[in-house]
């Protein structure tokens, strides 16, 4: 006997026992007496009735469980429907012939069509004519790509517009295929294809724009390069014109100033009155100051226009430093200052380079030291930094006991047309070009320039330059030894 038949038999026995129990209870109540055999039959019926009640309770619990499972299935179905209908991509189910059997709401929205107008129609009907042949060739091979494959086509929308779309296609597994009725009316699985529809219009537009810019990038670069070259040529032409103008103007200015200073020198030889001599000396000093400013402007123009060329001549370092002191001796004497030079013994005396430009750096530092000092000593020192077989790197430092410079103003000192304080220009004069020229010359000579200063204590302006050794003078250099040379010019 099968389990189903046994359950049906048990149910019939329980039903019969229950009916018999009910009839016996009614008869016993009517007769008022019960025999022993009847009592035995009644006990059996009561046991069967109890089992029937237990089975009834179990069935009710199973029915409740089934109800809860059904509710959970309905909730899961609703969630699936929401996910399917409102997915960010369109989902289509196709037959192997390419007929749309299912479509979600997103796909209908993308194609601007009611869902009813999509179903039971071939997908090819919504593909642009130029892509239909490709789609028809692509459709039969989808079932061979279990992992899926994709194609990009232009699709037609219901409003007459087109959409660049990507169709990600894959065959459904047999267990998840469509269930249909066969010829005998029995359910069976029909193979089908799943398609994910994505709108890639923006991506294609961006790719087209990138391709356009990529294809025209070379032309844009050439055009921009030509514009930059034109701007560069114009700037260079402007610099050349500025340099030529400043050169001509400096020549035109220096010629009459030379005549003025010459006439003043001649008048000084003939003047006998002390007041006249004082006036003439002040006039000559003003003319020389003006000449210095003109020379600084010309040097700045040369440096900016890359027209400043450094000479390479043999010179005596001691002689250069002596000339620096002699040049500033009169101004130092007038203020009661002491000037001195100190050259370390390991520094060669004969060197090859631009001694005139080196003297210009040192004269500028020394002149500033004299200008901004009211007391004490000004020392010009030369020391060796590094050397090799052919060159030496020297450090020159001009130290004074002047007014000093606060740290926030030190960084501005070497900028063109800049002084530590605007009041300096009014009190001490100057165009603010000397330090900038000195630094740029030092850079051209392979070194640098800077300042170390403490307000109220003094300042040290330094510069490093690279010079060549004079190898043919080796014997003279050895004879010189390590002597330290110094010159003192007293203001008293």
- The verdict on 319 and 428 lying in the same domain is yes
Asked whether residue 300 falls in the same domain as residue 331, the answer is no
Alpha carbon distance 7, 31 (integer Å): 36
Q: What kind and span of H or E run contains 189?
A: strand 187-190
pLDDT at 472: 59
- The residue among 190, 173, 98, 103 whose CA lies nearest residue 141 is 98
Please say whether the beta carbons of 371 and 428 come within 8 A: yes
Mean pLDDT of 274-289: 84
To the nearest whole number, what is the mean pLDDT of the chain? 79
Give the least confident one: 43-52, 221-230, 442-451: 43-52
Residue range(s) defining the domain that contains residue 34 = 3-84
Higher pLDDT, 284 or 324: 324
Tally of CB atoms within 10 A around 413: 21
Same domain, 352 and 480: yes
Domain-ending residue, one of 66, 84, 102: 84
What is the phi-psi region of residue 186: left when phi exceeds 0, alpha when psi lies from -120 to 50, beta otherwise? beta
Structure confidence at residue 484 as a pLDDT band (50, 70, 90): very low
What is the domain-level CATH number for residue 171?
3.30.450.20
13 pLDDT tier (thresholds 50, 70, 90): low
CA distance 193 to 206: 31
Residue 417 tokens read as: 């047309």
The DSSP result for 438-488, as a single string, is HHHHHHHTT-EEEEEEETTTEEEEEEEEEEEE-GGGHHHHHHHTTPPB--E
* pLDDT tier at 428, thresholds 50, 70, 90: very low
Residue 382 pairs with which residues in a beta bridge? Answer: 343, 396
Confidence (pLDDT) at 491: 37
The residue-averaged pLDDT of 422-439 equals: 62
Q: Would you state the pLDDT for residue 349?
A: 92
On whether both 162 and 209 belong to a single domain, the answer is no
32 and 69 share a domain? Answer: yes
Clarify whether residues 273 and 360 are in a common domain. Answer: no
Co-location of 72 and 219 in the same domain:
no
**Residue 435: CATH number of its domain:** 3.30.565.10
Residue 16: predicted pLDDT: 65
Phi, psi dihedrals of residue 230, rounded to the nearest 5°: -65, -45
Q: What is the dihedral of CA 216, 222, 225, 230, to 10 degrees?
A: -120
Question: Residue 394: how many CB atoms within 10 A of its CB?
Answer: 26
Residue 9: the pLDDT is 67
Note whether 258 and 166 are same-domain residues: no
Statement to judge: residues 319 and 456 lie in one domain: yes
Q: Where are the alpha helices (DSSP H) in 271-390?
A: 274-304, 317-335, 355-371
Per the structure block, which two tokens stand in for 369?
A: 């030291």
Confidence of residue 416 (pLDDT cuts 50, 70, 90): low
Find the range with the poorest average confidence among 2-16, 53-67, 445-459. Answer: 2-16
pTM for this structure? 0.46
C-alpha triplet 53, 56, 61: angle, nearest 5°? 130
Pairing of strands 338-343, 377-387: parallel
Residue 327 shares a structural domain with residue 459: yes
Residues sharing a CB contact under 8 Å with residue 385, sequence separation 6 or more, in sequence order? 392, 393, 394, 395, 464
- Domain-terminating residue out of 84, 104, 123: 84
pLDDT higher at 165 or 253: 165
Same domain, 195 and 207: no
The answer to whether residue 366 scores a pLDDT higher than 50 is: yes
C-alpha dist (Å) from residue 191 to 81, 98, 171: 22, 11, 8
The total of structural domains in the chain comes to: 4
Domain final residue, candidates 199, 230, 264? 199
Instruction: Kindly report, residue by residue over 148-187, the tens digit of the pLDDT.
Output: 888 999 999 999 899 999 999 988 775 454 555 555 555 6
CATH code of residue 301: 1.10.287
Number of Cβ within a 10 Å radius of residue 204: 16
Name the CA radius of gyration of the chain, rounded: 55
Burial degree of 482 (CB within 10 A; 0-12, 13-18, 19+): exposed
- Residue 75 shares a structural domain with residue 98: no
């Amino acid at each position: 006997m099968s389990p189903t038949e046994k359950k049906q038999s048990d149910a019939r026995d329980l039903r019969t026992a229950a009916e018999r129990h009910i009839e016996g209870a009614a008869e016993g109540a009517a007769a008022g007496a019960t025999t022993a055999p009847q009592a035995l039959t009644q006990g059996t019926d009561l046991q069967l009735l109890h089992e029937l009640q237990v089975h009834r309770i179990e069935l009710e619990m199973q029915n409740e469980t089934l109800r809860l499972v059904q509710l959970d299935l309905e909730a899961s179905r609703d969630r699936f429907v929401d996910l399917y209908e409102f997915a960010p991509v369109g989902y289509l189910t196709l037959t192997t012939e390419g007929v749309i059997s299912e479509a979600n709401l997103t796909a209908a929205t993308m194609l601007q069509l009611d869902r009813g107008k999509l179903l039971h129609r071939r997908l090819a009907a919504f593909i642009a004519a130029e892509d239909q042949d490709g789609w028809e060739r692509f459709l039969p091979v989808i079932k061979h790509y279990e992992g899926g494959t994709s194609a990009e086509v232009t699709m037609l929308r219901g409003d007459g517009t087109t959409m660049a779309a990507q169709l990600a296609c894959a065959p459904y597994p047999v267990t998840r295929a469509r269930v249909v009725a066969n010829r005998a009316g029995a359910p069976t699985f029909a193979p089908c294809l799943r398609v994910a529809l994505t709108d890639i219009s923006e991506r294609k537009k961006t790719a087209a724009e990138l391709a356009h810019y990529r294809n025209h990038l070379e032309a844009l670069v050439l055009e921009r390069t030509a514009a930059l070259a034109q701007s560069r040529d114009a700037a260079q032409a402007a610099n050349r014109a500025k340099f030529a103008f400043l050169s001509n103007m400096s020549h035109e200015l220096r010629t009459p100033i030379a005549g003025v200073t010459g006439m003043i020198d001649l008048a000084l030889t003939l003047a006998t009155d002390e007041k006249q001599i004082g006036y003439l000396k002040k006039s000559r000093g003003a003319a020389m100051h003006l000449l210095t400013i003109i020379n600084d402007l010309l040097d700045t123009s040369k440096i900016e226009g890359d027209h400043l060329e450094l000479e390479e001549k043999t010179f005596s370092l001691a002689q250069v430093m002596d000339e620096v002191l002699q040049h500033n001796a009169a101004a130092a004497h007038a203020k009661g200052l002491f000037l001195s030079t100190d050259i370390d013994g390991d520094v060669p005396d004969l060197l090859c380079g631009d001694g005139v430009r080196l003297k210009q750096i040192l004269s500028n530092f020394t002149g500033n030291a004299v200008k901004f000092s009211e007391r004490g000593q000004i020392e010009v020192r030369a020391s060796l930094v590094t050397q090799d077989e052919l060159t030496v790197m020297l450090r020159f430092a001009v130290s004074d006991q002047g007014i000093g410079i606060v740290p926030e103003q030190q960084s501005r000192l070497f900028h063109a047309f800049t002084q530590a304080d605007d009041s300096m220009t009014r009190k001490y004069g100057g165009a603010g070009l000397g330090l900038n020229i000195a630094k740029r010359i030092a850079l051209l000579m392979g070194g640098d320039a800077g300042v170390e200063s403490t307000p109220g204590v003094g300042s040290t302006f330094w510069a490093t330059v690279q010079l060549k050794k004079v190898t043919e003078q080796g014997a003279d250099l050895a004879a010189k030894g390590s002597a330290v040379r110094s010159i003192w010019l007293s203001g008293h």
